[in-house]
Every structure is written in structure tokens, then in C-alpha cells.
Structure 1
Amino acid sequence: MKAMILAAGRGERLRPLTDTLPKPLVPVLGKPLIVYHIEKLAAVGIVDIVINHAWLGQKLVEALGDGSAFGVKIQYSAETSALETGGGIKQALPMLTEGDTDTPFLVINGDVFIDSLPALHLLDEDALAHLWLVPNPVQHPNGDFCLANAKVFEGDEDKFTFSGIGLYRPSLFKDCPDGAFALAPLLRSQMAQNRISGAMYRGYWCDVGTVERLQVLENKLSA
């Protein structure tokens, strides 16, 4: 399995740290946030990693290189301007696909921290994606999607927050245009067809979106 780490965001809410660093290079107890992901992927044998970048992207390349220092192989998908999540994945598909197969790949937001990867598995034959959800954090109390019987769907009650971790089939993006587009509407269109599976993520998860939440994470890890 291949993996992609989304790293093209500007990180406005983490300023002034992100005035001089791309958000995934912001240090957590002295280690860049994205390195935690790379190490966890390497530990489970996922060594082919694609990283997209836009804002100060060359600093990511300089810091991580070809990945050999971490026991992985890193390819970069450079974006002249940020393509949003959907567009970023679509541009990187040639690096994520395995020949002519529809083999799923893993995508992780570069601005979240997890203490372990979820248990990865094969997608059901009819599923185009599998999403991991988390209990709603304080900053996102209304959640994103509902979950029942291992299916993710839209609803008005009992919604959970998308963790930013998902498995995707390349065919999910086959009819999408090039350029910038959001992932959520694409997922919602397939939820209506009952083709998005899901599960709760049971580990520790933190959206490192602000300086305050970064401090909370560092306090927890150093406790």
C-alpha cells in the first residue's frame, strides 16, 4: 500500500510559526509534525509515500529529502497554488496508483497528530473509500458525518468529525476535473450511493490547527 500525506495548507491559524515554516514542519517536542507520520508509516511497512506541498514547499523537500533517512521513499507533488484536498490527491494519482489496478491508498492530513495508525484493511468490493471518524473536538462540536453499520452517511444527528485519515480507491477520482476542488462534496456524492465505509478511530487524535492546540499536544506528550 502507498500513502499520501497532505502538506499543502498555509496554516494561517498557526502563525507566526507558519510564516517561516510549512505547517507540517512545525515542531512537536522538537520533532517536525510530519515526521511522526512518516515514522508510523515506516513501522507498519508503508514505505512509498507521496507528499504534496505549496506554501514554502521547498523547505519540506530540504528537510525530508528522498525519505531514506526514515527508511522510506518519498515523492513530492508540487502545487503552484494549493489545490485543496481533492485536487491535491487527484494531481498525485500517477504516483499513488499501482499500474492499472484500483488498489486503495492511504491519505493522512499533515496537520493532525495520532499516537498510532488505525488498523488498515482491504476495502469492501463496493466501497470507494473508508473514513476514520473521531468524537467531536471542542473546536468542531457539530461534526461532519454519521456512522452506522460500518457506513458513513450524511445526517442531522449523532455526527462525528472526520479525522483526516482515509483509504481511497483511485477510481473515486476518475471523473474529477484537474485543478482545485474539495474532497467533501465528492465523498458526499458517494455516500448517497452507499459506497463510503467507515469506523471510529480509537487512538489519541489532535488537530494541531492553532498554537494553543499545539501547546496542549506538547503538554500531553511530555506528561
Structure 2
Amino acid sequence: MKAIILAAGRGERMRPLTDACPKPLLRVRGKALIEWHLERLARGGVREVVINTAWLEEQIVAALGDGARFGLAIRYSLEGRDHGGALETAGGLKKALPLLALAADEPFWYVAADVFAPAFDFGAAAAAAVRPGQLGHLWMVANPPQHPGGDFGIADDGLALAGRSGASFTWSGIGIFRPGFVTELMGDFEAGAKARLRPYLDAAIARRRLGATRWTGDWADVGTPERLRALDAA
């Protein structure tokens, strides 16, 4: 499989750490945050990755290069250069998707660069979670203190539920999507426009075409300097 890593955000809550360093390059336990994902993706068999960038994007390109040292081929969707800033989650996905050169129904990994999941397995068993006919599949975690209301529930049949339905969990920032998630649901804006992902996740849930799985491994949303320090101290 191939993968897209979303790494374009400004990281406002991480200031002043992100004033001179893009958030994905902040070091967690001795390694840049995004490198944890790249190493795990490579271990899971992924060989092609697209990374979207905006804030201080030249630092990310310089640090990761072509990906050869990770066993990967990395390409970049340069939102800062092309659009003057980040396109947000859905806008970033829509711009980056053509760079993966996917077959019509070929699933791909979606990974938020600002989460820490050092043991997540991107191998074939996890990739098989997205069922035929589904547009995507999300991995959910227990609600952290900073997000007690969660995002979505999980139905007995493995489908994601709207946040108001059943027990609620927080999306880990890791998922699998098919190209149809973009081509079928995101026709209301042009590539290069800003858009958030949540409305399109809700649309896929309403169509009963988004799956979900509970994941109980080590996970953190590295959203503040305090959380970063706590991870390093753990």
C-alpha cells in the first residue's frame, strides 16, 4: 500500500516550539515525530509516501529528502509554495491524492503527523480492515483528557457511528481510505481550496460506508509542549 502523511499545520498550540521548527520535526524520545510514522509504514510494507507540507516546509523536505534512508520513496505536496499556506485536512488530502497515482479502488493509509503511535502496525492484517464497498476505515482510541467528548462511536457490525450514537471514541488520526472517499464525497470544492475533513467523514458514516476499529496501543495527540514533555518523561 501507499500512504499520505498530513504534516502541513502551523502547530499554534505548540508555540513557541513551532515558531522555528515545523511540528512534525519536533523530537519525541530522541526522534522526529514524523520519523516514527515513516519507520512504521516502511516496516508494514509501504514503499511510497506523499507528505503534504506548508509551515516551514523547506525544513521537512531537507530533513526527510527522498525517503531512501527509510526504505521509502517520498514525494511532497507543497501547499506553502503552491497556495501560500495549509489547505487543512480535506483540502490537503484532495491536493495530495493524485501524487500517489492510485488505481481506481486502491486503498491508501492516511496518517496525521502530529500523533504519536509508536507501535501501530501498518501491515497487511490491518490494511484488510477496510471492507469491499467501504470508503474508509478509522482506528479509534480512548478519549484523552483534552477531548473527553470523543469523535465517533463503533457499531456492533464494525461501522463508525455519528458521535451522538453509542459509546464515543477519539479518532487516532490513522485510517485507510479509498480514492472514492475523495472523488465521491469531495466534489463540492476544487483541489487547492481549504476544507476540513470532518464533514466528509460524517457523510461517509451517513452512507454506512465508513468502518472503525478500537485500538488500545500507546497513543498521544502531541498538541502542546506539556504533552510533548510528558511523552519524553514517560
**Per-residue CA shift, 1:162-220, capped at 9, x if unaligned?**
11001011111112422111111011011111110110112110000100100111112
1:114/1:155 CA distance change after superposition, 3 Å: closer
Aligned twin of 1:147: 154
- The structure-2 alpha-carbon separation of the partners of 1:122 and 1:95, relative to structure 1 and needing over 3 Å to count, comes to farther
Counterpart among 185, 192, 198 of residue 212 in structure 2 = 198
User: Counterpart of 1:165?
Assistant: 174
The one-letter code sitting in structure 2 at the alignment partner of 1:86 is A
Distance 1:44 1:6 in 2: 18
Once the two structures are TM-superposed, the CA of residue 63 in structure 1 deviates from its matched residue by 0.4
TM-score of the pair, normalised by structure 2: 0.90
Q: Is the 8 A contact 1:114 1:206 kept in 2?
A: yes
State the 1:29 CA deviation.
2.5
Q: Secondary structure at the match of 1:212?
A: helix
Query: CA, structure 1 residues 215+172, in 2 after alignment: closer, same or farther (shift >3 Å)?
Result: same
Q: CA RMSD in A?
A: 1.2
What are the superposed Cα offsets for residues 86-105 of structure 1, whole Å, 9 maximum, x if unpaired? Answer: 11010011112424x22010
User: 1:114 corresponds to which residue?
Assistant: 117
Does 2:141 correspond to 1:127? no
The 4+ residue runs of structure 1 with deviation greater than 6 A are none
* Separation in 2, partners of 1:176, 1:204: 37
Residues 108-151 of structure 1 deviation map (CA, whole Å, 9 limit, x = unaligned): 10000002224221521221010111000000001011111211
SS at match of 1:143: coil
Letter in 2 for 1:74: I
3-state secondary structure, aligned to 1:163:
strand
Residue identity over aligned pairs, in percent, reads 48
- 1:151 maps to amino acid: L
Q: Per the alignment, in what secondary structure is the counterpart of residue 109 of structure 2?
A: strand
Task: Tell me the number of residue pairs that the alignment of Structure 1 and Structure 2 aligns.
Answer: 219
2:94 to 90, 93, 97: 90
**Structure 2: runs of 5+ lacking an equivalent:** none
Q: Aligned pair 1:177/2:168, yes or no?
A: no
Are the counterparts in 2 of residues 3 and 50 from structure 1 also a CA contact under 8 Å?
yes
Question: 1:52 matched to which residue of 2?
Answer: 52
Runs of 5+ in structure 1 lacking a partner? Answer: none
Letter in 2 for 1:84: E
Q: What amino acid sits opposite 1:202 in the alignment?
A: T
Match of 2:202 among 171, 182, 188: 188
Q: Aligned partners of 1:72 and 1:176: how far apart in 2? A: 33
Question: Equivalents in 2 of 1:70, 1:138: separation in Å?
Answer: 34
Question: Matched residues in 2 for 1:88 and 1:25: separation?
Answer: 19
The normalised TM-score by structure 1 is: 0.94
Please tell me the residue identity of whatever aligns with 1:196: L
